[in-house]
Each structure stands twice: as C-alpha cells, then as structure tokens.
Amino acid sequence: MPPLLEVRNLTTHIRTRRGTVRAVDDVSFTLEAGETLGLVGESGCGKSMTGLSLMGLLPPGGAMVGDSSVALDGRELVGLPERDLRRVRGNDIAMVFQDPMTSLDPTKTIGHQVAEGVLLHRGCSRAEAADRAAEVLGLVGLPHPRERLKDYPHQLSGGLRQRVLIAMALANEPRVLIADEPTTALDVTIQAQILALLADLRARLGMAMILITHDMGVTAGHTDRVNVMYAGRIAESTGTDRLFHGMRHPYTQSLLASVPRLDQDPGKELPTIPGMPPDLTDPPGGCRFAGRCRYATDRCRTDEPELTGSDQHRYACWHPTDGPLPPSATAAVPRATEAAAPAVHDRPLLEARGLVREFPVRGARIPGRGRRVVHALSGVSLELAPGETFGLVGESGCGKTTLGRLLVGLDRPDTGTVTLDGTDLGLLRGRELRRRRRDLQMMFQDPFSSLDPRMRVGGILREPLQIQGIGTAREQKARVAELLAEVGLPERGAELYPHEFSGGQRQRIGLARALALTPKLIVADEPVSALDVSVRAQVLNLMNRLQASHGLSYIVISHDLAVVRYLADRIGVMYLGRMVEVGSADDIHLRAAHPYTAGLLKAVPVPDPQLERAKLGTGISGELPSPVDPPSGCRFRTRCPLARERCADEEPALRLFGAGHTAACHFPLQQPLPDTPAKAATDASA
C-alpha cells in the first residue's frame, strides 16, 4: 500500500525580478495517516513553500519543476488540471495559516466562511452547510457555536479566530492537515491550548498532519518525525526523540544550542550561528551550510552532500556530528551584577510607586453607563538597581508595554510616581525633563518599522545627539563610528539605509541608537521576538556584553519566558494590569508562588521531547478577560484552578515568600514567610 502522502524530488522555483529563487530543492518525504511530521527551520528555509507546493498554491511566478512528484494515496497531484486540484484542496488536503488576525475575511460572518468550503465540496444545501459549520466550530471549542455563526471576525479574540481557522480547515474532514506556524502569533497560554486541540483532533479524526514551525519547543512536544530544512533542502530527517538527543547534522546541533532554554545557565553565552543563510537565487556549490558551519572543510565547499543514513535517520553532511553540543562549548558571560543575589543597594536607580494608567474606550460610549475605561495598569510598583536586568512577562494585554512606556517617560501615569536617581520624573518639565530622558532609552520589537526608512543609519544614530545638542559635527560622527563598532556593525554601515540590513542587523542598529546617549536604563520591548533563532542568540549575547561594559540596567519586556530567564536577574509577572509576582529568576522558575506564574511556565514549550510529553494539561485555560471590566477580587480568579469564594470578595495583597520574592494570592503554591508584611504590599495598596 502506498503511503498516504508521498513527496518525491519536490523542487519549487519562483521567478522574480532579481532572478529565479530556488525556494525548495529536491525535497522527498512520506507521511502516514495519524502521524505528525514537523517541517522545521528558519525563515526562508523553504518550509512554508513546501506546504504551499503541496496545496498547489504557489505565489505568482512559482512552479514545481523537474520530476517533482506529490502523490496522495498513490494519485499524482503535480500536473493535475486546476479543476481537479481544486477538488483536493480544502477537501483532502487543508491548510491552517499563521496569522489569525489577517486570515479571516473581515466582511463575512464566520459561519459563512466555514460553510463556504462545505458548500463547495459536499454539494449540500445551505442549511446543511450551516449545520456542519456549527458542528466543527463546536469541535474546535468555540463556545455556543450556533449563536456565533453570525459573528464577524473582529468580534472574536485572536485565540478564537485561530480556532475558527482550524474549523475551516477541518470542515471537510481532510486526510492531510498542513499547519503553517499555527500558533506563532498567539500568546503561550493560547498556543498551548491550540496545539493540544490540534493533537486531539488529529487523533480523533485519524488525520495526518504537517506542522511547519520555527519553534524547537513546539517541535519537541507535537511531532513524531521531523524534517530539518536549510536553504531549500532537507538537512536532516528523523524521529523527534532522536533529533533532539542524537542529531547528526551540524545545523540541527547549532540550531538547538542557540535556543535559550528555561534551564539555560545564564552565566554562559549562547552559542550562535555566525553569518546568514545563502541567497537562494544563486546558492553556493557544495554544502549550503558550509559558510556558517563550525566543522566545514574544503570538501564541504566543493561537493554537495546527499541525504544518507538509514531509513530512520537521514542527514546530508560529510562530517556528521553525534548528538548535542556539550554545554562547555561556550564562553562564560561577564555579568554586571551577581546574578544569584538580588542586590540590595542603598538607592535604586529607578523606582515606580503605585502606577495607575487608564485609557478611555474608543467609540463605544453607552448612555447612562458613563465613561468606560481600559484599566491598563492598576497600581504597579517596582524597583531597579543600577546594573540590574528586570524582566516583565505576561500575556498580551496584561499592561507590560504600558508600564515600559511609563518608565521611560513616553507616557505619564494617571497616579503614582516614577523616580529616577531620586528625582521624580513627573515633576520635571521642559529642558530638565529632556536632559533626564537621556538616561532612559527604549528599544522596540520591530526593528524595521522603528527606523526611518529614508534616513541613512549614520543620520539615525546622530539624531539623538543633535536633538540633545551633544558635541560638534565631527565628534558626533566619531561617536556614530564608535557605536557601530560596539554593536558589531562595519563602519561603512553609516552610509547605508535600514532596508539594506538584515533583521538581526537592524536590531543591532536599534540597540546602537538606544546607546547613543549613554543611558543608564534601556527598556527593551520584545527585543528579539521578530528575529530568527540563530540571530536571536547573537542579539541576546550582544545585550549581555554591552550591559557588562556600560553598567547598563535593562527592563526586558517579553512574552518569551526563556529569553527573560536568560537575560533577567529579577522577573515580574503581570496579569491584567497588576504585578502578581516578583522574584529572582530562580524564585520564579523554581519556586513560583502564584498559580498564574506556574501556569504560564507550564505553557512554555521546552525543546525536549520527554519533558514536553510528560506535561499534563496545557497550563492555563480560557482567555484574558476584558480589561474594561476586570473580575472583582483577584483578577486571575476566572482562570485560576485554585480559585475559591474568598478570591472573588477580597483582593489578595502582595506577601513575602523569601528575600525579594513577593506574590499576591490567597492560596499560594508556596508557604509565605510568617507575618512579614512585604514592603511592596503596603505600596501596592496605597
């Protein structure tokens, strides 16, 4: 019997103005019913294009060439007329796309969008299609599906929209489901729910699944076999367990090593992969990884390695390695502070007390109910010592970005104070404020949209100096050169425009700009989440090094707990505008007292198949309630597994669980210190 799906010598070329991109090159694999195959790699490695090729949905100029073959149950799909292909698409093979916010037509009801495919392939009546739509929407866990058929996409949260997308793909019970980064745009808590849903549906419906992802943690927990792709080719292909513990390809090895893990030793630099993937319009001869490989020899640069090995484990490498990099392979990180001991200084660099910030709800003003506000921050306090890194984590909408903006003075609190070096920022005006702002800089998530595309990099870096009137033109130029050198960019970079740099390099420019005024504190909002794994490690190492050499303090805002764990000395966990737990990185990771912290940690996928599969449950159920009407008492109670009556009536105060470790919960997971009212607790209620 032929395998359910057999892909042989799949080669996809895309003709563009710049030349022909060899996006997928000679890829072969099989897929059996009921199994999940991971397609893993960094952006541009050809994993998404492989998925689109299977669907026959290539972008303009794209075509499968040579003897490419895709056979579903023995039936060849390549070369099939478009009419016949359309019967397969959405019926036998279906796809879930990455971004739930843009993947639904904003002008059509979700019922219509789910029923559309049913109507098309089943030739049933409208009423039957609507019934089926309600049925699958129920299957993917949309509450009250029948009443929601008439909802429009904008009325649903991101997590629910992703469920609708999955329902659309499942409506005709496809035999193969291709999920292209299905959870990348979602919070970890929702990601865990959606991945669990996909796994459950696959088992119940007996589908085969192709999971396309860049996330090694997701790969570890949710695939049976993995194809690691690099520069359009399969580098290594084997069972998931073997891939993580006995990889043979150097790329797999480096990729895994460069992912910061929750159990990462923050005292060590992350191993990185130098350089960038090759240009696929003109791929180099020999091994495509040769330019970045630590084991490359002359042979690698001239002869291209074929996939070899057993049926269970194939890899394309002349000098295969054996297993993961030893932990000793990397250098120790110089640290500005002693990471272990939460430093007690005479005076903190930055101190925030009882910050409250509310925004009016746009448009919707219901007569008689008064003005409705989003409670973005409801009494948050924190302290930061010189040279310290404070991590802020929480789901999107928890207020962490608002807090970051308040701390650097980009926004003002409604009540509460921010004190820098003993000066209350709220009292400063005009010139004095501007001078003080030098000490506070911000680094943004998207390195592209935060750099003016029409300015040369030199101009971008000089601008803050000019605004503050620091130095002569010549001194400013010299400073720009110095900054570029510091972040590891060539001096001639000053003459180039932002688009001439890669994502990682642009983030370096962002860091250089933040450094231009020699600040004391940099607030980094999701500094690496837009970057590929290997580049991410480079930027994280750079941030660490700069901190040590400049005695900088960082506030790192991220949804990625591993990144925060790696960078931060202390971590604050936020939920719906409140700080629910603060402690050293170890307090949070090893001795979490708040149920939310524990759930959040559980939801983070770790790149280890055994650990990942041993997890029970998904961490946190449900979604973040509206910040317009936060729940009474403990705001987490609607999702808390431990919630009791008291949680609804009484707001929990911050209590002390150890030196510098506080959490706000009536029924904490750890024993609080007896009768020691936390210092912060009094502040929070103020």
Partner 1 sequence: MTAYLLRRTGQALVVVFGVMVLTFVMIHLVPGSAARASLGTRATAERIALFNAANGLDRPLAAQFVSFVQQAAEGNFGTSYSLHQPVSTLIAQRLPRDGVLLGLSTLLALSVALPMGIFQAVRRGRVADHVLTVVSFVLYSMPDFFFALLLVAVFSVQLHLLPSQAPQAESVAGILADPRALVLPVVTLTLVSVAGFSRYMRSSAIGTLAQEYVQVARSKGLPERLVLRRHVLRNSLLPVVTVLGLSAPTVVAGAVIAESVFNYPGMGLLFFQAATSKDYPVMLGSTLVVGVATVIGSLLADIAYSLLDPRIRYVDA
Which residues bind to ligand SF4, rule: CB under 6 A? 250, 287, 289-290, 293, 295-296, 300, 305, 317-319, 594-595, 634, 636-637, 640, 642-643, 647, 652, 665-667
Could you identify the residue written with the tokens 């009882």? Answer: 354
- Contact region with partner 1 (CB under 8 A), list: 147-155, 345-353, 383-391, 620-628: 147-155
Give the span between the Cα atoms of 455 and 439, in whole angstroms: 24
Residue 295 neighbours by CB under 8 Å, 6+ apart: 250, 319, 321
What DSSP assignment string belongs to 396-461? TTSSHHHHHHHHTTSS--SEEEEEETTEEGGG--HHHHHHHHTTEEEE-S-TTTTS-TTS-HHHHH
The smaller minimum CB distance to partner 1, of residues 140 and 406, is found at 140
Which partner, ligand SF4, partner 1, none, binds residue 642 by CB below 5 to 8 Å per kind? ligand SF4
Which partner, ligand SF4, partner 1, none, binds residue 300 by CB below 5 to 8 Å per kind? ligand SF4
Q: CB 399 → ligand SF4: shortest distance, Å?
A: 17
Give the span between the Cα atoms of 522 and 336, in whole angstroms: 15
| φ/ψ of residue 329, rounded to 5 | -70, -10
Q: Are 25 and 278 in contact (CB under 8 A)?
A: no
Q: Are 437 and 425 in contact (CB under 8 A)?
A: no
Which partner, partner 1, ligand SF4, none, binds residue 107 by CB below 5 to 8 Å per kind? partner 1
Q: CB 631 → ligand SF4: shortest distance, Å?
A: 9
Chain positions 156 to 185 lying near partner 1, rule: CB under 8 A, are 165, 168-169
Which partner, partner 1, ligand SF4, none, binds residue 95 by CB below 5 to 8 Å per kind? partner 1
Q: CB 301 → ligand SF4: shortest distance, Å?
A: 8
The smaller minimum CB distance to partner 1, of residues 133 and 460, is found at 133
Could you say whether residue 104 binds partner 1 (CB under 8 A)?
Answer: yes
277 C-beta neighbours (distance < 10 Å), count: 23
Among positions 43, 102, 308, 632, the unique one binding partner 1 when judged by CB under 8 A: 102
Q: CB 104 → partner 1: shortest distance, Å?
A: 6
Q: How many residues bind partner 1 (CB under 8 A)?
A: 32
The smaller minimum CB distance to partner 1, of residues 86 and 550, is found at 86
Could you say whether residue 602 binds partner 1 (CB under 8 A)?
Answer: no
Which partner, partner 1, ligand SF4, none, binds residue 616 by CB below 5 to 8 Å per kind? none
Chain positions 74 to 93 lying near partner 1, rule: CB under 8 A, are 86-91
Closest CA to 216 of 614, 525, 565, 534: 534
The smaller minimum CB distance to ligand SF4, of residues 636 and 657, is found at 636
Mark 166-200 as b/e (b = at least 16 C-beta within 10 Å): bbbbbbbebbbbbbbbbbebbbbbbbbbbbbbbbe
CB-count burial class (<10 Å; 0-12, 13-18, 19+) for 6: middle
Q: CB 640 → ligand SF4: shortest distance, Å?
A: 3
Point out which residues pair with 19 in neighbouring strands. Answer: 16
Q: Are 111 and 134 in contact (CB under 8 A)?
A: yes
Site for partner 1, rule CB under 8 A: 55, 57, 86-91, 94-95, 97-99, 102-108, 116-117, 120-121, 152, 154-155, 165, 168-169, 363-364
